[in-house]
Amino acid sequence: MTELQTLGQTVLGSQPFSQHLGAELIEFEQGRAVIALEIRPEFLQQHGFVHGGVVSYLIDNAITFAGGSVLGERVVTVEFKVNYIRPARGQRLVATATVEGAGSRLAVCRCEVVAKDGEKERRCAVGQGTIALLG
């Protein structure tokens, strides 16, 4: 495990909401973070799909990690946008965030969320946002 990955695991482990949902940081390197989540019955909305709020949580968190990998540990999400592409269902969600550009204080990140449903893997949302170094 790289130093960055150890740091990432520590940060994710210290987020009660991420622990509560069961998020896992499965890849983490300079400019890229992948966070996965097993889909649980309590994550759904009224039509049996994963609630958009779960998907948007994943985007928010994945872009913060990606941004933090280039800006440093003390970062916050300034803002982000999500476009839902199709209903999310299956066993697992995987959010992959990348840094598209960064200065010393701000990083622009994108994220893609796929739902793994048996053998199928479908893109269910894309996001884009800004991460800032604190202070």
By the criterion CB under 8 A, which residues form the site for a second copy? 11, 14-20, 41-46, 50-54, 56-58, 60-61, 64, 76-86, 100-101, 103, 105-106, 108, 110, 123, 126-130, 132
Quote the least distance from Cβ 85 to a second copy, whole Å.
3
- 26 or 78: whose CB is closer to a second copy? 78
Cα dihedral sign, 81-85-86-91: negative
- 27 or 44: whose CB is closer to a second copy? 44
By the 8 A CB rule, do 69 and 3 touch?
no
Q: Tally the C-alpha atoms within 13 A of residue 84's C-alpha that lie toward its C-beta.
A: 13
Task: Name the nearest CA neighbour of 107 among 133, 125, 127, 83.
Answer: 133
Quote the least distance from Cβ 29 to a second copy, whole Å.
20
Quote the least distance from Cβ 121 to a second copy, whole Å.
14
Quote the least distance from Cβ 2 to a second copy, whole Å.
20
Task: Name the nearest CA neighbour of 93 among 63, 47, 50.
Answer: 50
> Token digits for 11?
């940060």
- 101 or 118: whose CB is closer to a second copy? 101
- 22 or 30: whose CB is closer to a second copy? 22
Query: What's phi and psi for 12, nearest 5 deg?
Result: -60, -40
